RNA sequence: GGACCUGUGGUGCAGCUUGGAGUGCACGCCGGCCUGUCAAGCCGGAGGUCGCGGGUUCAAAUCCCGUCAGGUCCGCCA
C-alpha cells in the first residue's frame, strides 16, 4: 500500500473510475468498484458500468460470467477510445472504455432490495432499513459530501478569525431547564445520572471565564423532544463564543463563516446580511423566521377596518395581504386556506377578489356588502391591488392576526421558490421574556443568561414583558439556522433576572451553582452563537429534510429501522446501573 | 397528547368512491436469444397473509372499529 495522497487512488487500484480520461488512452489501468449495470449482448460482447464514488466508467468484454449488479470487482485492462458514434455524452468518461480486461470478483452481492439509481422514489423506511445501500446512491453521496464541505468551511473560516476548537463533555450534569435531556445512568454512583448535553451552552461560557477568548466547536447536541423534518434527537451545531465583543461583531463572525460555507458548497459569493427587529419581522411577515425570497408583506389595516363597525373586523389588529399568486386559487384551495386559518386559531379568513367594475375596482366577497366605496378604495390602495388580485384579511389580537396571516402568506408563496436563492436575515431585539408561567412569572425566551437590551433595563421592574434582549437569530429562506445572545456576566444582573423569573437564590445555586461561582472570579463580557449544521447542510444540498444529509437518521418515532434501536436490555445489565423498568402497560409520562 | 395522509409480489404504483376469483402497469429477479450498448433490446418464467386484529356481509384489498408502522404538521424543541 502506498501513502495516500488526497484524491489519488492507491492500493488495489491505479485510478478512480471517474478519473479515467482520454489522456489515459493506451495505458494499462486497474480499477475497483461496484457493478452499476450490465448490458449483455451475448457471448461476443458485454458492457459493465463500473462505479465508485468518483463516477462511472464502461468496461467492455467479450464474455461475462458470474458477475451481477453490485458485485465488488477489480478490473485490469487498457484504456481505449470508444468506436466513433458510440460515445456517451452523459458520462464524464464517455469517450473511452476499458478493454482487454481481467476481472476479479472481490465480493459478491445479493440482489439489492431497491433500485440504487435515481429513477424513482423509494419509501424512506426501506431506505433507512438498508441505509448502507441508500448512501451508495449518487444523491446521498453528494449530500454527505456537501455536509463535509460545510464543516470544512466552518473550520477554515473560524480559525482564520482566531477561534480555537475546544471539546466539551458528552456526559454533563442535569440542568432542568429547557429541552428534555437524555439520561445516562451512572454505574459507579447507582441512582445518579449524567445527561447528554442539549447544547454546550454553559461549558462554553466557562471557557470564556477560562480566558479562551474565542472558542468554537462542531458539537453534537441531544434533545429528547419530538422529531420533525428539521429536527432529530441528536443534531450538530456550530457552537461559538467570544469575549470582549459586541453583538454586531458576533454577527460579522457568523456572517463571514456563512459566506465561506456558501462559497465552498455553492461556488457563489453572497453579500451582507440585512438586519430586522423581531417586532418588524412579526409585523410584516407574521413569523420570527421570515422567508425573504418573496414579498407580500402583511399590511396593517387596523386604522381602516378596526373601527369600521364591521363585526368581522372589530379586533385589536387587522392585517391583510395581497396573495402572492399570479392566478386565482381554486374554490377548494381557498377553502383549504380558510380551514388552515381556523386551525391556527383565527376566527376566520376574509377574502376579497378584485374585479373591474366599469372604471372602478370592486370586491367580490361575502363581506363585500359591508364595505362602502371609501373603505374599498382605501383597502385597494393600501394593499396595492389590481383587477384579478386576491386580498386576504385576518382580524384578531396582534400576535394571533400576524401569526395566522403569516402562515397563509407562506402557504401561498411556497410554490416556485428557488433553492438557489439564498436570503439570509438577522433577526434582532427579541423579547427577553415570552409569556407567563403558571405562577404568573415571566418565562425566559432564550435562556436566563441572556443580557437585557441596553435601553430596556428600566423596564425590567415596570413592564418585564416589553423588555427586549440582546439576542438574535440568523434566518435563511424561512429556516431558523441558529441563535445567540450577549450573556450576563455580572452577578447583580443575573440575580435580578432570577428574581423576575422566580428562581430563588437556593434554586439558582443548586441548578447553576458552578456557573455562578465561576462568575465570581472575573468573568469577561461575552456572547456567542450556535447554528444547526444539519439545517444549513440540507439547504446547501437543496433538501427539505435534514434526514437527507444525515448518514444514519432516526424515524419520527425515534427508531432506527436498521439497528432496531432502541431495544430492551436484560435486567442483569440494568442491575449494574441500579435501574428497574416499569411494566410495559404504564407508558412513560402517563399515570 | 392531538390532526391529516400513507401501507397491495423484491421496488414503485393502479385497483378502494359504487364489495363479486389476487385483476393490471413499470422496474427488478430467474432462464433463453442477441457483436456497440449505455434506463440496451427481444422471448419465456417465478414471485402475494392486499401491514395486523376484529366486525358487517352469501361474499371484503375495497365498508366499519381497533391497532401497528411510516410521513407532514400542532403541542413540545431554555
pLDDT band at A437 (very low <50, low <70, confident <90, very high): confident
Tell me, yes or no, whether A455 lies in a domain.
no
A201 and A306 within one domain:
no
Of A356, A381, A413, the domain-final residue? A413
Report, as an integer, the average pLDDT of A143-162: 98
pLDDT tens figures, A331-373: 767 777 787 787 777 777 888 888 888 888 888 888 888 888 8
A320 and A368 within one domain:
yes
CATH number of the domain bearing residue A384: 3.30.1360.30
Tell me, yes or no, whether A123 lies in a domain.
no
pLDDT band at A231 (very low <50, low <70, confident <90, very high): very high
Q: How many angstroms separate the CA of A65 from the C1' of B76? A: 57
C-alpha cell at A142: 453528494
Tell me, yes or no, whether A346 lies in a domain.
yes
Report, as an integer, the average pLDDT of A24-43: 95
CATH number of the domain bearing residue A147: 3.30.930.10
Tell me, yes or no, whether A125 lies in a domain.
no
Is the distance from CB of A195 to CB of A176 less than 8 angstroms? Answer: no
| Smallest CA–C1' distance to B40, residue | A39
CATH number of the domain bearing residue A73: 2.40.50.140
Res A439: pLDDT = 79
Q: How many angstroms separate the CA of A125 from the C1' of B21? A: 33
A182 and A96 within one domain:
no
A158 by Cβ neighbours in 10 Å (0-12 / 13-18 / 19+) ranks as buried
A439 touches strand B (CB under 7 A): no
pLDDT band at A404 (very low <50, low <70, confident <90, very high): confident
| Smallest CA–C1' distance to B11, residue | A114
C-alpha cell at A503: 428562581
A312 and A257 within one domain:
no
Res A166: pLDDT = 98
C-alpha cell at A133: 445501500
Q: What is the mean pLDDT of chain A?
A: 90
Res A4: pLDDT = 39
Of A413, A429, A464, the domain-final residue? A413
A399 and A366 within one domain:
yes
> How many distinct structural domains can be found in chain A?
3
A254 and A156 within one domain:
yes
Nearest 5 degrees, angle CA A289-CA A293-CA A296?
85
A91 and A35 within one domain:
yes
A98 and A44 within one domain:
yes
Tell me, yes or no, whether A240 lies in a domain.
yes
A60 touches strand B (CB under 7 A): yes
Q: Which of residues 62-91 of A touch strand B (CB under 7 A)?
A: 68-69, 82-83, 85-88, 90-91
Write down the ipTM of this complex: 0.93
Res A1: pLDDT = 33
Distance CA A343, CA A366 (A): 21
A223 and A155 within one domain:
yes
A47 touches strand B (CB under 7 A): yes
Report, as an integer, the average pLDDT of A285-312: 86
pLDDT band at A156 (very low <50, low <70, confident <90, very high): very high
A301 and A256 within one domain:
no
Res A329: pLDDT = 63
pLDDT tens figures, A510-547: 888 899 999 999 999 999 999 999 999 999 999 989 99
Distance CA A208, CA A215 (A): 8
A217 and A99 within one domain:
no
Res A11: pLDDT = 86
A102 and A21 within one domain:
yes
Tell me, yes or no, whether A94 lies in a domain.
yes
Tell me, yes or no, whether A462 lies in a domain.
no
Of A346, A380, A413, the domain-final residue? A413
Tell me, yes or no, whether A454 lies in a domain.
no
Q: How many angstroms separate the CA of A477 from the C1' of B70? A: 28
pLDDT tens figures, A555-584: 999 999 999 999 989 999 999 999 998 765
Q: Which domain holds residue A99?
A: 17-107
Amino acid at each position: 500500500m502506498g501513502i495516500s495522497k488526497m484524491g489519488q487512488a492507491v492500493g488495489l487500484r491505479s485510478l478512480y473510475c471517474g478519473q479515467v480520461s482520454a489522456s489515459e488512452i493506451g495505458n494499462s489501468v486497474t480499477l475497483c468498484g461496484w457493478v452499476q449495470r450490465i448490458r449483455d449482448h451475448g457471448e461476443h460482447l458485454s458492457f459493465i458500468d463500473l462505479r465508485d464514488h468518483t463516477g462511472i466508467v464502461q468496461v467492455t468484454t467479450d464474455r461475462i460470467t458470474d458477475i451481477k449488479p453490485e458485485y465488488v470487482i477489480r478490473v485490469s485492462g487498457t484504456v481505449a477510445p470508444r468506436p466513433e458514434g458510440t460515445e456517451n455524452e452523459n458520462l464524464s468518461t464517455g469517450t473511452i472504455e476499458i478493454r482487454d480486461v481481467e476481472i476479479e470478483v472481490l465480493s459478491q452481492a445479493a440482489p439489492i432490495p431497491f433500485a440504487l439509481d435515481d429513477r424513482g422514489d423509494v419509501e424512506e423506511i426501506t431506505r433507512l432499513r438498508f441505509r448502507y445501500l441508500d448512501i451508495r446512491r449518487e444523491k446521498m453521496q453528494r449530500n454527505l459530501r456537501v455536509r463535509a464541505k460545510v464543516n470544512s468551511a466552518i473550520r477554515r473560516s473560524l480559525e482564520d478569525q482566531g477561534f480555537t476548537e475546544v471539546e466539551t463533555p458528552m456526559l454533563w450534569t442535569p440542568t432542568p431547564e429547557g429541552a428534555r435531556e437524555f439520561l445516562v445512568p451512572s454505574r459507579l454512583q447507582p441512582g445518579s445520572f449524567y445527561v447528554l448535553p442539549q447544547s454546550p451552552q454553559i461549558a462554553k461560557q466557562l471557557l470564556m471565564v477560562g480566558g479562551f477568548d474565542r472558542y468554537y466547536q462542531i458539537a453534537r447536541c441531544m434533545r429528547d423532544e419530538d422529531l420533525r423534518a428539521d429536527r432529530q434527537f441528536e443534531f450538530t451545531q456550530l457552537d461559538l463564543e467570544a469575549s470582549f465583543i459586541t453583538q454586531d461583531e458576533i454577527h460579522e463572525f457568523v456572517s463571514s463563516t456563512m459566506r465561506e460555507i456558501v462559497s465552498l458548497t455553492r461556488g457563489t459569493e453572497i453579500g451582507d446580511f440585512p438586519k430586522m427587529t423581531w417586532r418588524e419581522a412579526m409585523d410584516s411577515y407574521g413569523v420570527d423566521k421570515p422567508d425573504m425570497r418573496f414579498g407580500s408583506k402583511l399590511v396593517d389595516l387596523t386604522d381602516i377596518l378596526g373601527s369600521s363597525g364591521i363585526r368581522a373586523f372589530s379586533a385589536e389588529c387587522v392585517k391583510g395581504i395581497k396573495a402572492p399568486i399570479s392566478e386565482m386559487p381554486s374554490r377548494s384551495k381557498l377553502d383549504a386556506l380558510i380551514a388552515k386559518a381556523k386551525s391556527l386559531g383565527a376566527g376566520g379568513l376574509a377574502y376579497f377578489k378584485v374585479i373591474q367594475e366599469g372604471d372602478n375596482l370592486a370586491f367580490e366577497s361575502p363581506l363585500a356588502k359591508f364595505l362602502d366605496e371609501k373603505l374599498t378604495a382605501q383597502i385597494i390602495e393600501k394593499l396595492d391591488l389590481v383587477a384579478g388580485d386576491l386580498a386576504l384579511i385576518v382580524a384578531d389580537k396582534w400576535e394571533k392576526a400576524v401569526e395566522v396571516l403569516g402562515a397563509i402568506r407562506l402557504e401561498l408563496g411556497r410554490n416556485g421558490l428557488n433553492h438557489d436563492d439564498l436570503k439570509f436575515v438577522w433577526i434582532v431585539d427579541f423579547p427577553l421574556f415570552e409569556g407567563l408561567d403558571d405562577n404568573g412569572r415571566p418565562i425566559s425566551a432564550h435562556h436566563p443568561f441572556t443580557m437585557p437590551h441596553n435601553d430596556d433595563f428600566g423596564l425590567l421592574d415596570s413592564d418585564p414583558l416589553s423588555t427586549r434582549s440582546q439576542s438574535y437569530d440568523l434566518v435563511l429562506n424561512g429556516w431558523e439556522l441558529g441563535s445567540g445572545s450577549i450573556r450576563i456576566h455580572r452577578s447583580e444582573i443575573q440575580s435580578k433576572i432570577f428574581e423576575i423569573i422566580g428562581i430563588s437564590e437556593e434554586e439558582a445555586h443548586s441548578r447553576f451553582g458552578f456557573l455562578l461561582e465561576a462568575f465570581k472570579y472575573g468573568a469577561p463580557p461575552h456572547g456567542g452563537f450556535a447554528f444547526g449544521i444539519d439545517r444549513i447542510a440540507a439547504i446547501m444540498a437543496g433538501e427539505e429534510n435534514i434526514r437527507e444529509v444525515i448518514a444514519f437518521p432516526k424515524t419520527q418515532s425515534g427508531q432506527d429501522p436498521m439497528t432496531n434501536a432502541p431495544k430492551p436490555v436484560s435486567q442483569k445489565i440494568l442491575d449494574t446501573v441500579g435501574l428497574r423498568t416499569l411494566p410495559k402497560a404504564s407508558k412513560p409520562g402517563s399515570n
